[in-house]
C-alpha cells in the first residue's frame, strides 16, 4: 500500500509509523503521532545519511516522500552502493496497466532493442520517417509520432487519432476520460503515457513518452524517443516521481 507524503504539522497513524522507524534507527527518542520540529530534524538527519534505490543522495528537506520511505525500509546503504539493483528495462513488466497500453509499450521496447534513433541529421532518418507516417517529412519532432506509431501496431488499430502532437494526444485522452494527474492520487503503470509541457505551461509545445514502471522507492522509469541531442535514440529514462519537472499528467488507453 502506498504511504502518504508526510511533512511538518501532519498527524496520525502514518506519523506514528514514521517515528517508530526513526526511533528504531536511532534518530528519534520517542514515538509520536505529531510531525513536529523534532521529528522534522530527525528526518533531515536521516536523509543526510542515506540514498535512494539508485544510490543517489536523498534530498534533505524534512519531507517524507516515496524515496525517503524506501530508504527507511532499506537502511543498509553499503549494500545498495556496492551492488545496485539491476533493472531489465527491455521487457514489459509482468503486471499493471491496460492491455492496449502494455501492447504499445511492448512495441516501443522492440524498437528500442532494434536500435531506433535519428540518422543523418537531427529529427531525421528512416526510423523518424516511419513514425511520422507520411503526415510530415523529416526533419520533424517525433516523440508523439513514436507514441502514435507504437499504438497503431495493434491488430485493432490505434485507439485515438494518429497525432504528431504530444499535447494533442493528451487532449484526446482527456476527452475520452483516460487522463489522470501526477499528484499521487493514481499510480502510473506500464504502458501509460506521460506528457510534459515545453517552453510554456499553457503553450502548444510538449513532450510525450511511455511509462515503463514506477518502483517501490518512487522512481519512475520511462521509454521515450526524440529526447537529447542528435542522434537521439529511443531509450529508457528515470525520474524521481514526486519531483518531475514540467509534468502535465498521464493517460491510460482503454
CATH fold of 99-251 reads endopeptidase fold (from Nostoc punctiforme) (3.90.1720)
End-to-end CA distance of the chain: 24
Average pLDDT over residues 38-52: 88
Upper half-sphere CA count for residue 19 (Cβ side, 13 Å): 23
User: CB-based contacts of 174: which residues, under 8 Å, 6+ apart?
Assistant: 251
Residue 235 and residue 108: Cα distance in Å, rounded? 9
pTM: 0.79
What's the longest Cα–Cα distance across the chain?
Answer: 66
Q: Taking CA 97 as the corner, what is the angle to CA 95 and CA 100, rounded to the nearest 5 degrees?
A: 115
Share of the chain above pLDDT 90, in %: 70
Please list the residue range(s) of the chain that carry CATH number 3.90.1720.10: 99-251
Q: C-alpha cell of 81?
A: 552502493
Give residue 193's pLDDT band: very low, low, confident or very high (50, 70, 90).
very high
pLDDT tens, residue by residue, 16-29:
999 999 999 888 99
- Tell me the average pLDDT across 41-65: 86
What is each CA distance from 97 to 57, 75, 186, 252, 254, in whole angstroms?
30, 30, 12, 7, 10
pLDDT band at 84 (very low <50, low <70, confident <90, very high): very low
Quick one: 163 exposed, middle or buried, by C-beta within 10 A (0-12, 13-18, 19+)? buried
Amino acid at each position: 500500500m502506498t504511504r502518504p507524503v508526510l511533512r511538518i504539522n501532519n498527524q496520525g497513524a502514518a506519523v506514528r509509523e514514521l517515528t517508530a522507524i526513526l526511533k528504531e534507527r536511532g534518530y528519534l527518542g520517542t514515538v509520536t503521532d505529531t510531525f513536529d520540529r523534532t521529528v522534522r530534524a530527525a528526518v533531515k538527519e536521516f536523509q543526510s545519511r542515506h540514498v535512494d534505490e539508485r544510490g543517489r543522495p536523498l534530498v534533505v528537506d524534512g519531507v517524507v516522500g516515496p524515496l525517503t520511505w524506501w530508504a527507511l525500509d532499506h537502511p543498509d546503504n553499503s549494500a545498495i552502493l556496492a551492488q545496485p539493483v539491476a533493472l531489465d528495462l527491455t521487457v514489459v513488466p509482468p503486471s499493471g496497466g491496460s492491455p492496449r497500453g502494455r501492447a504499445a509499450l511492448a512495441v516501443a521496447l522492440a524498437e528500442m532493442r532494434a536500435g531506433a534513433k535519428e540518422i543523418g541529421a537531427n529529427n531525421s532518418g528512416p526510423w523518424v520517417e516511419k513514425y511520422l507516417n507520411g503526415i510530415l517529412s523529416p526533419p520533424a519532432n517525433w516523440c508523439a509520432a513514436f507514441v502514435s506509431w507504437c499504438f497503431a501496431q495493434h491488430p485493432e488499430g490505434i485507439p485515438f487519432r494518429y497525432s504528431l502532437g504530444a499535447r494533442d494526444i493528451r487532449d484526446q485522452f482527456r476527452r475520452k476520460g483516460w487522463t489522470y494527474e501526477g499528484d499521487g492520487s493514481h499510480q502510473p503503470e506500464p504502458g501509460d503515457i506521460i506528457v510534459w509541457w515545453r517552453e510554456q505551461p499553457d503553450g502548444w509545445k510538449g513532450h510525450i513518452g511511455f511509462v515503463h514502471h514506477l518502483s517501490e522507492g518512487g522512481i519512475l522509469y520511462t521509454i521515450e524517443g526524440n529526447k537529447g541531442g542528435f542522434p537521439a535514440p529511443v531509450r529508457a529514462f528515470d525520474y524521481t516521481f514526486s519531483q518531475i519537472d514540467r509534468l502535465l499528467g498521464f493517460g491510460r488507453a482503454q
